A and B are shown apart, each in its own frame.
Chain A
Amino acid sequence: MTQQGAYYVPHKSIWPIIGSVGLFVTMFGAAHWINGQTDLGRPMFFTGLAVIVFMMFGWFHSVIGESIRGSYNSQVDVSFRMGMMWFIFSEVMFFAAFFGALFYARNFSVPWLGGEGHGLFTHHYLWDHYTATWPTNGPGNIGGKFSVVAPWGLPLLNTLLLLSSSVTITIAHHALRAGRRRQLLVFQALTVLLGASFLYFQAHEYMEAYEHLNLTLHSGVYGSTFFMLTGFHGLHVTLGTIMLIIIWLRCAKGHFNRENHFGFEAVAWYWHFVDVVWLCLFLFVYIM
């Protein structure tokens, strides 16, 4: 079907509609679950997730098969690359919303609540005892007194872990391009381990925050921004680690060769993106 100089159009596929159904069931279930009006929400949510996982296996299975059989030409490869790049850009904008909330709270809403600015009466009428500080849980002391995670302990360790993982995945990539299979597998495995240790320490930090620091999702705007930013980042690291594991297995099965390894590169881009987000988190959430 693929011929020289001709365009490639993939054949029909059942997976997009299955993915749509899966996302629908997941979100419909989630909406019912959090409202608690019916008991069906929770099972629906997990059923939907299972359908999505099933779709992922099926869709990737057929795409990997087509790729290995050599169905894709270089134009398809460029389309895939563009798709991944723009997807990562959309992820950047998603995080931008939460970073924006953080900067807004620190530079505007908290100082205004503390009486800064002209013609603002919230401080005067409602909370004249409140002095603006950061971190804060607001004039209402929402969630009670809390302390923050010290940046130079676990967060620094996690920074080093993620930065090293960026190095190891790059070494693995060079090994793949040079055809050094053993080095590729070892350094890809190291990357997975580094990612997994990051997650372990992040979970540890969360437990520490909840159990000893009284820093929770309820701790006013500090707790909200802290947990939503680091939480969504952690979710992305989790997905990224799963992706790394799958790519490692695919390397072991010999799916990639020196020229043709877009799957590897896409995951590497994603991993670097997750890394950069962490550096911003370390700087703006933990240190500053």
Chain B
Amino acid sequence: MAHASTQGHHDAHHEAPSGFFRRWFMSTNHKDIGTLYLIFAGLMFFIGGAMAMVIRAELFEPGMQLVQPYFFNELTTMHALVMIFGAIMPAFVGLANWMIPLMIGAPDMALPRMNNMSFWLLPFAFTILLSSFFLPGGAPAGGWTMYPPLSIQGGDGIAFLIFFVHLSGISSIMGAINIIATILNMRAPGMDLLKMPIFVWTWLITAFLLIAVMPVLAGGVTMLLTDKYFGTSFFNAAGGGDPVLFQHVFWFFGHPEVYIMILPAFGIISEVIPTFSRKPLFGYKAMVYATASIAFLSFIVWAHHMFTTGLPLGAELFFMYATMLIAVPTGVKVFNWVTTMWGGSLTFETPMLFAVAFVILFTIGGFSGIMLALVPADFQYQDTYFVVAHFHYVLVTGAAFGIMAGVYFWLPKWSGHMYSERWGKIHFWLSVISVNVLFFPMHFLGLAGMPRRIPDYNVAFADFNMISSIGGFVFGASQLIMVGNIIYTVFFAKRKASDRVWEGAKGLEWTVPSPAPHHTFSVPPVIDDSLLAHGDVSH
């Protein structure tokens, strides 16, 4: 059975990997494009990380040491943009490209050429964004949220940021359309919607969110562009507009965006935990419904980012309660992950370690989120390091740890070799300790009143900042171990991975050889429910 699914490829496809340019620049292969996405995301992770290192170095001690204040603002702005649009999102799309066709028994993505364009827009988009460092007036420095009037009072960089958003938005929308069409149209016969792996489900919903909100951001930044360069008054009160309007438009995009960056991680964790618990996922259908509920709620909570802008009381109450409602489906998920582990035969290989850390640390980020959702409390926390701590817990120990779990989990399937478990564990323990040293003190700093996006601070905050910076340097350096481990696995490792790779792994992706051949499932595979993780879900 194991190799039956790939036999058809010799006669069905005449295009094996060819010359370098044809293979990587003209590709229609979901695996090659997925690899490109992942390499690009890794590169951006280190560029954004380098900016974070400079930020933490400047904040190591009170007073101005390393950089000019304006450059510091450029760094905080660009760090966020690079990490969100360059590292987290492309990494998830890369994983989707690699795994979704394998998981649903499809030969490739539904629209393979558009897939290639989705990827190749990204390096160009980031060329535009990063080139703004070399402009007169420098890179955008008004924060990644681009709030007017500040953002349009800076240098020329804002135009580059806006066109960057347009290009990466086009890329995201095309990628999302492709993923939806793939999942809805390319499933092998017998792969019912409610037999799909949770990772596929979370991506289906994420793709819908992307198509719904990326155009709204495009509209918002277009208004910013015309306000600065063409004399419109969308955000100018003297003309009857309102700067707060931008915040509404931005966060209508921005809050679903938060879930765009976490739902696929939920999916990865929902694959990893059952595998290493050797048990089916607890509450499969509840997971699907919880994901859909979170996605729905994400559209009606955006103004919790704007509690201090002077919203009417009724709006503050509505957005507070709607926000707290999200804790319910999220709680369902955390409960299900824990219950999946309960009574399982657990082993703790590197992907499982990252997954368990994800469950605990993401939940901490979720709890600080509930604190921030309380309007009167938020009046205190607004724009302090407490907010910085909150979103780094959900984005670094949440999204990024989810990606790392996924990379270690699927790397043997991609490369055909086992990574070094020892160095994987060293990477994990260094990361999980240092990341808490890095971000946990920020809670205390924020509660004590330290504002975010400031290069200098009161000496009262000195100790915690120094601790945080030390954690930051260790965390940054630890990530080089992962790179080393990946390079070792792909090019030098001797130990072959089996097709199934992990003892408890279930699903179609584990029925193809390791490394996965260039073309898989050229003819629809015959689905055997006992091979699927959720083949026995009744509906």
Q: Which A residues have a C-beta under 8 Å from some C-beta of B?
A: 1, 3, 5-7, 9-17, 19-21, 23-24, 27-28, 30-31, 34-35, 37, 59, 75, 78-80, 82-83, 86-87, 89-91, 93-98, 100-101, 104-105, 108-110, 112-113, 117-120, 122, 126, 136-140, 142-143, 217-218, 220-225, 227-228
> A34: which B residues are within 8 A, CB to CB?
159, 225, 229
Chain A: which residue is nearest B213 at the CB level? A93
Do B232 and A108 have beta carbons less than 8 Å apart?
no
Nearest CB of B to A42, in Å? 14
Q: Find chain A residues with CB under 8 A from B241 CB.
A: 105, 109, 138, 220-221, 224
A37 touches B156 (CB 8 A): yes
Q: Give, as a whole number of angstroms, the nearest-CB distance from B206 to chain A.
A: 14
Contact of B233 among A87, A100, A220 (CB under 8 A): A220
Q: Are B120 and A97 in contact (CB under 8 A)?
A: no
Nearest chain-B residue to A87 (Cβ)?
B177
Query: Closest CB-CB distance, B81 to chain A, in whole Å?
Result: 15
Residue B485 CB within 8 A of the other chain:
no
| A140 engages B177 (CB within 8 Å) | no
With a 10 A CB-CB cut-off, give which of B14, B220, B238 has the most chain A CB atoms. Answer: B238
Across-interface contacts of B8 in A (CB, < 8 A): 6
Stretch at the interface among B24-32, B62-70, B92-100: B24-32
Chain B 123-159: CB-based contact to A (< 8 A → 1; otherwise 0): 0110110010001100000000000000000001001
Contact in complex: B166, A75 (CB < 8 Å): no
When chains A and B are docked, how far (Å) is the Cα of A217 from the Cα of B42?
A: 43
Q: Which residue of B lies closest to A89 (CB)?
A: B211
Closest approach, in angstroms, between the C-beta of B447 and any C-beta of chain A? 27
Contact B226 A221, beta carbon cutoff 8 Å: no
Point out the residue from A37, A82, A139, A218 that lies within 8 Å of B177, measured CB to CB: A82
Question: Quick one: which of A87, A90, A137 contacts B239, CB cutoff 8 A?
Answer: A137
B245 near A20: Cβ-Cβ < 8 Å: no
B residues less than 8 Å from A27 (CB atoms) = 128, 163, 166-167
Known: A23-B124, A37-B136, A113-B237. A10 touches B112 (CB 8 A): yes
30 contacts between A and B (CB under 8 A): A1-B12, A1-B13, A7-B521, A12-B27, A15-B113, A16-B26, A16-B114, A16-B116, A24-B124, A28-B127, A31-B163, A35-B135, A37-B135, A86-B177, A87-B177, A89-B211, A93-B212, A93-B216, A94-B219, A96-B219, A97-B219, A100-B248, A109-B237, A140-B238, A140-B239, A221-B239, A224-B226, A224-B227, A224-B233, A227-B232
Whether A108 contacts B242 by the Cβ 8 Å rule is: yes
Stretch at the interface among B102-110, B343-351, B367-375, B431-439: B102-110
Which of the residues B121, B173, B185 comes within 8 Å of A82, measured between beta carbons?
B185
Is B215 in contact with A91, judged by CB distance below 8 angstroms?
A: yes
- Chain A nearest CB, measured from B389 CB (Å): 31
Q: Is A221 touching B234 in the complex (CB atoms < 8 A)?
A: yes
Q: Is B467 an interface residue (CB 8 A)?
A: no
Contacts of B170 in A (CB 8 A): 23
Asked if A7 contacts B233 (CB within 8 A), the reply is no
Q: Is B236 an interface residue (CB 8 A)?
A: yes
| Nearest residue, chain B, Cβ from A99 | B219
Please name the residue on chain A nearest to B25 by beta carbon: A17
Q: CA A227 – CA B225 in complex, angstroms?
A: 14
Q: Which residue of A lies closest to B225 (CB)?
A: A34
Q: Tell me, in angstroms, the Cα distance from A12 to B115 when the chains sit together.
A: 12
A1 touches B216 (CB 8 A): no
- Contacting A138 at CB < 8 Å: which of B107, B216, B225, B237? B237
Given A16-B117, A31-B156, A97-B218, output 12 extra A-B contacts at Cβ < 8 Å.
A9-B112, A12-B15, A13-B28, A17-B120, A24-B121, A24-B128, A35-B156, A59-B113, A79-B111, A97-B223, A138-B236, A224-B226
Contact of B177 with A83 in the complex, beta carbons under 8 Å? yes
Closest to A41 in B: B159
Q: Is the CB of B231 within 8 A of A217?
A: yes
Q: How far is the CA of A27 from the CA of B127 in the complex (A)?
A: 11
Contact residue range for chain B? Answer: 35 or more
Partner of A19, one of B117, B227, B248: B117
Tell me the residues in window 227-277 of chain B with beta carbons closer than 8 Å to chain A beta carbons: 227, 229-234, 236-242, 244-245, 248-249, 252
Tell yes or no: B522 within 8 A of A by CB. yes
Q: A63: nearest residue on chain B (CB-CB)?
A: B113
- Chain A residue at smallest Cβ distance from B30: A9
Cβ-defined contact, A218 with B312, below 8 A = no
Task: Indicate whether A75 sits within 8 Å of B216 (C-beta atoms), given known contacts A12-B22, A105-B241, A221-B240.
Answer: no
- Most B C-beta atoms less than 10 A away, residue of A12, A105, A140, A223: A12
Chain B residues near A140 (CB-CB < 8 A): 236, 238-239
Given contacts A138-B236, A221-B233, contact A12 B28 (CB under 8 A): yes
Judged by a CB distance under 8 angstroms, whether B181 is at the interface is yes
Smallest distance from the beta carbon of A206 to chain B beta carbons, Å? 15
A residues less than 8 Å from B113 (CB atoms): 10, 13, 15-16, 59
Most B C-beta atoms less than 10 A away, residue of A7, A23, A136? A7
Interface secondary structure of A, over-half rule: helix
Q: List the count of A-B residue pairs having beta carbons below 8 Å apart.
A: 249
A34 to B184, CA, bound (A): 42
When A100-B248, A142-B236, A217-B230 are in contact, do A1 and B14 touch as well, CB less than 8 Å? yes
Contact partners of B522 in chain A: CB under 8 A: 6-7, 9
- Contact present for A220 and B524 (CB under 8 Å): no
How far is A19 from B117 in the complex, measured between Cα atoms in Å? 7
List B contacts of A95 (CB < 8 A): 219
A83 CA / B115 CA spacing, docked (Å): 12
User: Looking across the interface, which residue of chain A has its beta carbon closest to that of B163?
Assistant: A27
- In the assembled complex, the CB of A53 is this many whole angstroms from the nearest CB of chain B, namely 16
A142 touches B245 (CB 8 A): no
Q: Is the CB of B239 within 8 A of A142?
A: yes
Complex CA gap A97/B246 in Å reads: 10
> How far is B216's CA from A97's CA once the two chains are assembled, in angstroms?
5
Expressed in whole angstroms, the Cα–Cα distance for A20 and B242 within the complex equals 35
Is B524 in contact with A5, judged by CB distance below 8 angstroms? yes
Which A residues lie within 8 Å of B14 (CB)?
1
A105 to chain B, nearest CB (A): 6
Please report the C-alpha to C-alpha distance between residue A11 and residue B113 in the assembled complex, in whole angstroms.
9
Q: Is B310 touching A119 in the complex (CB atoms < 8 A)?
A: yes
Q: Quote the shortest CB–CB distance from B10 to chain A (angstroms).
A: 13
Question: Which A-chain residue is minimally distant from B223 (CB atoms)?
Answer: A101
Contact flags B325-355 to A (C-beta < 8 A → 1, else 0): 0000000000000000000000000000000
In Å, the complex CA distance between A78 and B184 comes to 10
Nearest neighbor of B230 in chain A, beta-carbon distance: A217
Whether B186 sits at the interface, judged by CB under 8 Å, is yes
Complex interface: chain B residues within 8 A of A9 (CB):
13, 28, 107-108, 112, 519, 522
For A93, the closest partner residue in chain B by CB is B215
**Most chain A beta carbons < 10 A, residue from B213, B223, B227:** B223
Closest to B156 in A: A35
Please indicate the chain A residues that have their CB under 8 angstroms from the CB of B78 in the complex: none
Interface string of B479-503 (1 = CB under 8 A from A): 0000000000000000000000000
B184 touches A82 (CB 8 A): yes
Within 8 Å CB of B214, what residues of A? 90, 93
B72 within 8 A of A: no
Specify which chain A residues have a CB less than 8 angstroms from the CB of B136 in the assembled complex.
37
> B405 in the interface, Cβ–Cβ < 8 Å?
no
Q: Which residues of the other chain, B, contact A19 by a CB distance below 8 angstroms?
A: 117
Question: For residue B15, which residues in chain A have a CB less than 8 angstroms away from its CB?
Answer: 11-12
The reply to whether A83 and B128 contact each other, CB–CB distance below 8 Å, is no
Q: CB of B410 within 8 A of chain A?
A: no
